[in-house]
Amino acid sequence: MAPSEFVTTVPRLNGMVISATGYRTTGRRPALHRGLPSPYLTVIFSLDGPITTGRTPDQATGPDAIRTDIVVGGLHQSPAHVVQPEHEAGIQLAVHPLAARALLGLPASALTGELVVHGTDVFGERAADLRERLCGLDRWEDRFAALSAYLRGRAADARAAGSVRPEVAEAWAWLARHRGAGTLGGLSRHVALSERRLTSLFRAETGLTPKQVARLTRFQHAKSAVVRAVATGAPQDLARVAADCGYYDHSHLVRDFRQYTGVSPTRWLAEECRNIQAGAHGGDGE
């Protein structure tokens, strides 16, 4: 068995799930991994032992750590700390926040402030049965198919969670098209709402403001560019990445790296280099 295995696909779920990554690692030295903020919700079905997380390294490695076999995480603006054991396996989904009502049965804003929610608290006990089934399957293709069928069923049954307002959906699409660039004024004019009203509706649906999601989106593209450079052996040029991704200058990119990772770009790359080279950062929807 290879020490690291990562398989990424885009499920056929009408854009509700941006990517699904199956992972299996073995023979690693136990460590702490930083789960970075992104514009997407996180859902993980562990195919091994419970996933252990915390807001800080001390919490993740202490008695107050959050341990669950199925992770549901909302939008957040600081890193989660995840214990990486010697061996682990699972499937991680990047879920579009505006699909939360259909797939999770609640708006993404209901997860605000929660680093990790136990999956059965959101999906119900049938999710535990699905996890057991996923553990019994041998091929990633079969696991992805089973998970996709389960989510399609939830979307078809979605009723009580309501619908996303069209202005919010269009505002998200605008932010995605502009890769986090543009102004709140330009966005509010595009959806024909005042800045205050748009911000209120957007936060009520997603848990974050349009400005916060714009920053996350811009950072996501910058981080992906940095990851691609490491994976291909290209030289690092953070100033070029900053310019290409719409940052005012290099220092603003460094500022966002420090907020979203807790460390400088150089230190984050040093910590994550092995994961990047193994393919662990390939499922962010780019």
CB 70 within 8 A of CB 45: yes
Residue in 147, 110, 212 with CA at minimum distance from that of residue 13: 147
HSE-up (13 A, CA, CB side) for residue 249: 1
The C-alpha atoms of residue 63 and residue 189 are separated, in whole angstroms, by 49
CA dihedral 14, 122, 50, 135 (to 10 degrees): -50
Task: Residue 80: name the closest of 279, 271, 282, 261 by CA.
Answer: 261
**Mean pLDDT across the stretch 253-272?**
90
pLDDT at 284: 55
Q: What is the pLDDT of residues 137-158, one digit of tens each?
A: 999 999 999 999 999 999 998 7
Half-sphere exposure of 132 (CA within 13 A, CB side): 6
Fold of 4-157: Jelly Rolls (2.60.120)
* Phi, psi for residue 24 in degrees, rounded to 5: -150, 125
So what's the architecture of 212-278 in CATH?
Orthogonal Bundle (1.10)
Provide CB contacts within 8 A for 244, sequence distance 6+.
225
Tell me the pLDDT of the chain averaged across its residues: 91
Quickly state the pLDDT bin for 177 (edges 50, 70, 90).
very high
CB 16 within 8 A of CB 103: yes
Distance of CA 154 to the CA centre of its chain: 20
Q: Per-residue pLDDT averaged across 233-241, rounded?
A: 87
Q: Is beta strand 70-73 parallel, antiparallel or unpaired with respect to 41-46?
A: antiparallel
